Structure 1
């Protein structure tokens, strides 16, 4: 085929033209889906690269032409003055050095636009080379054609890009290229003389077949799909139940928590975005009755209170005696949930329109109503008090000293099922042994889950059987689960110690997006950020959040007072924030069995995840570039491996290295396309190779190799005598 394709004819021109259209399909979505401008500059570069290959321009000249075009494009896009006025070159070289230093230091976000443009040009250069390699050398383009179809269909499915016409164009161009390459392969393999009449007999039916099939496919009525579309299937889960079809659970807020456990699927559907002054969790509701399988609310005691904007919600978060700072956070709803997400310590809810708010005093759930019907505001601002809990006050808190501690709080929030296994209380007593105050006991239980073999796992979480308790199964059998397991286990363990505790549902702060000029941070909260944690009641203080789940932190501040007279080494009071590393907004991936996640490791993973999320575009470009380089190295191995082996075996001069060199030659010949038959002897194969290359080298090498096989040794000087024949063959096979 090389002899045919090296001649400039219409078929070769058509092949390159169709290949250019396939590459163009990769560039079309870039302008629509990214902030990349001047996309025409890159399209022209691809055209020039393929044209140089089509015209057979020598590699060095082509390199110079493409490099000059890249320099011209970069100069016109980012620099002033004339290209021939080299005053800009110093700044350009300085930018290159700076960016290579940033790559070395993994400062991906700081790469400037000039360097990113160069990387994109490099990627297109690699793709253009691969096209030439597939057309001329490999004579196959199916892989690239398939990758193009997959790329377009994925974008059409998961992004706003409309690929309806692109799929048709790609299919037509791809099948034409594959049909033409098949023709050229047959001409070469069968040594057929390519004439105009013979070519027409192949190409005309090919064009007619593709044209008719495309027209029929476009015009024919389309049947309904046999299999359901997986995207709607994933997104069609009931948003209220937290379960999908066939009982498949997914991440997200749901109202039914009566049966916890089992695996669930992630869901990155955005629920709301926020503008906040500091990180905090978002509460939705609490549950107070543990059944042994999950949580339910006491509907018999449920009563509601209505309040309006400017009124403090009629519920207790913590008492006014707790030091706090006033803060505001703004929520922009994406999903139309009629409930309000709010921080701990909420004081007021403001909206642009008039809304009435209804509080369920049992679940602490706040619903928004417009004209007395459930309605979700587009956005709202919550004012709240951010507390700093005094550890000394928490440690001194007791039921005897609190007049506000009613019997109902103790009864409602220490409830446990009668069939709770006694081993749960025994473990709670063991974990809190030596602890006197409720606070110390709560901290001991919270810390217990950060070690002792517990593993965060959202896939292999067990579902308790009919005779099993959800908490007992987690504590003593699996030690594997997600937030519901950890939070429920802590709440139940504290209740066995008669410490009032409630189970809280809501969302973590989400994923950081940007910082506004006002100083507020923008976060995006998705279904993956749905979370549960624990609140413990302390007499005289109120409800205090705790976070037992590995890798998560609720950002609650505890202040420890250290008196100067209690220690000679202490000169002033110290304030210690008992905060774990920033939690991941998407639930942590499954860990290996028998491993634990320390706070430092969770922080490391979170920092890595934040870095990747903020630099996804750069990471993607770098990954594609690296993948392209590795692909070129792999696909061109037939070219460079011979030189590698020649260099390698120049250092291996002993006779014992000859058999190894012979086997390497066999592998290289296979890569070249000279396949050895299943029942073909080495002598027969050597004759076939020598006929192909019009040489006698393979026959001589094979005779010497057979002597080694039969005698088990080689005469002195055999490898030195065989080396020129071996090098000649392995270079020809390159």
Structure 2
């Protein structure tokens, strides 16, 4: 019935028995286990490189902090893989991995003092949990806690993948997921991932080839002379994989190959929509991306849908745009500001003393902002102009702590809540700000009177353009501003051109891979929302030597008809615009998007004009639905009723005890039942069969006594104590089948496996349990 391969293994029955007594399903000696450690370490190194392909594409845009993120995630992944090489219990392994993730979190957000930051983080974590329980929204927690959740999820993924690779000896599932992920990055985010895909294919081929030797060897001990099979196989695998990758690129050196058509999920969706009966002009709604504010510097151009969640409520004597952040560095796909530096604000709240309130082009007003939810760092504070001072509307002690967490940048007029150290939350604050009142005639005359050039620092920072910017963008800028006598005239000319040659819409697409965002907007699509128009305006002005910067924040919001001077600002009011530098006056705001008006802008602007609601800035997702709110309400109701809480706890304890008793009673029969109901046509391999039936041996030892040293399994089954029992026939047959299965073919016949499992199940039911 069973095939027998006596030459496959050469171990003694005694060594077999010792291995079984410890339930070591690998059935190798310590010497054989130690031999492939370096080989498995090599496999894990390649797995590390493949895992980093998930991270590298999204950190290769040059934005601030990307290098630190990549290094920390690489260290975290490497540490997890090293821990996975050792055998630990699940409790110890979980604790070790949790500690590794926490260390990585401290290195990520701790700045120059990771240890000190780590000591204060538990307080931040408890505050975030309290905020989450009150709001029921994941986005309400701080950036650090969201990062911690991400690292814990990454740790679970890497641990599972490593177990799949080393135990199941297959990389195809994770490798396939990696390739799909990279192609989605290319299609949806417009990132250049071609080299990452090539590298990933190389890592997948190497890992799978190395795993194949473990499949073929089956754990056989090899002699220690010359170069062992692991070294020879590794060298041959590396050379073969490199040769295949190199050979795949040879046709491009001998013949001209046309550029492959870009794989785009948007185009696939448009074709399916057309096939379903939509016209070519119809759009497919992007229900996953909702307008809102985000501090992330992600590639721009994704389609959006309008959001209506209230973000904050503000009181202001004049309608204003609400500045959040400014950006000075454009890389062809997104904005960042790696050179921007902040300093701790004055404890008194005074931010600047340069006399702006005395200039003829600005006026001073006071505004009050009330956030819809607790606002924590690292995040910007929103003001309707250039801030002069800030006061937090709390007790003096809380106000003092908050001021210590407030950072200010005078050059960009940006306020920022620090995310390091003792983090505090902000709900309400007041600020004195300067808003511009200059009219077009003032700005035109100012340039003639000043006769001064832009400061060197301004030109060095706010004239930057990427070297890859297409020449036709610069040529277009020359054509637009031709004939402009003043800087204001040039700015107005760019505004007019964008209004006449582009259309406002939220139904957009990401630019093709390797395409400049502005070039694609100006010459290809000619459609977009505020990010498209404002970025194009800044680039066109800089191409003409006019310092300009990109600003993102919120529009005016909706005026409350019942409360004078009170505005509700929603996620749908998120917006981006432009500020242009005028020597002698400073940074003046300009609206680039057609149909939108900056209330405090130049002459002819009606300060009380009703603005269209823009869907700008970066997309933000709301991952929580009404189900979370329902669960939170039920939990609060249970806590409010003590008797109901006690009943629920008692029921939960009884259910847990019943489940524990059931699991204890079914073990080890449960794994055997599952294998007997195996749904696939191909039955589990011999390692799964042996692992499922292994608990029978400890049960036999408890029933008939332990097996004496030196006694084989068949001798133990034929011993007087076992032979006198009622299950002696099944035990003898089980021992014989066990040895045949252990030394037999890799995958035995299904009928033989079923017979073996049924016999093991009968014994598991009759023998005593722990």
Larger RCO (CA under 8 A, 6+ residues apart) = 2
Length-normalised TM-score, structure 1: 0.42
Length-normalised TM-score, structure 2: 0.40
